[in-house]
A = this chain, B = another copy of it.
Amino acid sequence: MSDALALFIERIRAQDARAIARAISLVENDGAQALTLLQRLFPYTGRALVLGVTGSPGVGKSTLVDRLAQHYRARGETLGIIAVDPSSPFTGGAILGDRIRMQTLGTDPGVFIRSMATRGNLGGLARATGDAVLILDAAGYDRVIVETVGVGQDEVDIVKMADVTLVVLMPGLGDDVQTIKAGLMEIGDIFVINKADREGVSRIESELKAMLAIAERRDGWHPPIIKTIATEGQGIEDLGHAIARFLDFRRQSAQADERRQEMAEQRLRALLKERLFEVALHTLTTSEELRQWAVAIARRERDPYSIVEEILTRWKGHRRT
C-alpha cells in the first residue's frame, strides 16, 4: 500500500493524466485514501499560479478560458483547468464543457482538463475543488485555472483560493447589472467585458468604471477593465498582461502574506467542518437515525433544533464520562 501510494504520487508528479484524474476522483469521493494522498502531496504545492474565472452563465467564460490557455501554452507553460459546475446536483453532470473543450485543447499533453460537479447533498464542492487545485499544483502545472458559474457562496469560496480573480461580464445582461456588480466588485482583481462587439459595451463599461471608482480596495489595487471577443481571440493578449501586472503587484504587496494566511485559514475551517460531520455520523448519530428523526420532523412531532442539541449532548456526555 505504501509502495503503491509512493508510485501513485510519482505518477501524479510526472503529470500522468490518468493518475491525476484518479486522484481527483478520490478527493471527489472523499475517502480515507484521499486524505493520506493529500497529506503526502501537500509539500509539493505552492508553486502554481491559480487563476479564478467567474461570471454569470452565458457570458462566455469557457471560450475565454480556452483562449487564455492557448495564450499560456504558446509561451510554453503547462495548465490545469478545472470547470466547476455546481448547477447539476441530480445528474452529477458537468460533462458538456469537457466535451467542447476536448476539441481545442484535449490532445495537448501540457493541458489537463477536468469538470467538477456537486455530488449528492453532502456539499463540500469548494473543499473538493481546493483539493483538485492542490493535486494539479503538486503535479507541477505552471498555472491552474478554476472556472465557476454564478455568484453563490461556493463560488466565492472557490474564488478565494485563486491568486488572481477575473470577473467576466457581457453587454446587455439586463437591468439589474448593478446588483451583479455590487456583489462581484470586491472579488474581481480584473474585470473582463467579453462579447465586446455587442451593443451596450460602452454602457456597461461606464457603469463598471463608476462602480470601481467608488470602491476602495484595502490593497490599493485598481482593477483594470479588459474588453475581449473571446471567440475571435481579441483582447486575450491584453488580458494576459493585466494578469501578469496584478500578480507582480500582489507579490510586492504588504498584504501578500496576510492573504495567504487567510486562504489557509479558510481551507482549514472548511476541512474541519466537513470532517467533524463525518466523525459525528460515526460516533454521535447515524444516517439511519437522522432519517428517522426527519420523519418525526416532517410530522411536526419533533423540531430539528432540539434534536441537534440532543445529539450535541451525547458529545458532551461522552466527554464527561
User: Which A positions have Cβ atoms within 8 angstroms of B?
Assistant: 35, 38-39, 42-43, 45-46, 56-60, 62, 85-91, 93, 96-97, 118, 121, 123, 125, 149-157, 170, 172-180, 182-187, 195, 257, 260-269, 271-273, 275-277, 279-280, 283, 285, 290-291, 293-295, 297-298, 300, 303-309, 311-312, 315, 318-319, 321
Asked whether B58 lies within 8 Å of A271 as measured between CB atoms, the reply is no
Given contacts A39-B306, A125-B153, contact A96 B179 (CB under 8 A): yes
Q: A177 vs B60: C-alpha distance in the bound complex, in angstroms?
A: 10
Interface centre among A35, A266, A305 (most CB of B within 10 A): A305
Q: How far apart are the CA atoms of A154 and B158 in the complex, in Å? A: 13
Select one of B43, B151, B173 contacting A87, CB under 8 A.
Answer: B151
In the bound complex, CA of A89 to CA of B170 (Å)? 22
25 A–B contacts, CB within 8 A, in A order: A35-B305, A39-B305, A39-B306, A56-B58, A56-B150, A57-B174, A58-B173, A58-B176, A60-B175, A85-B179, A87-B179, A87-B182, A89-B153, A152-B154, A170-B174, A261-B291, A261-B294, A265-B290, A269-B290, A272-B290, A273-B273, A275-B312, A283-B319, A315-B315, A318-B319
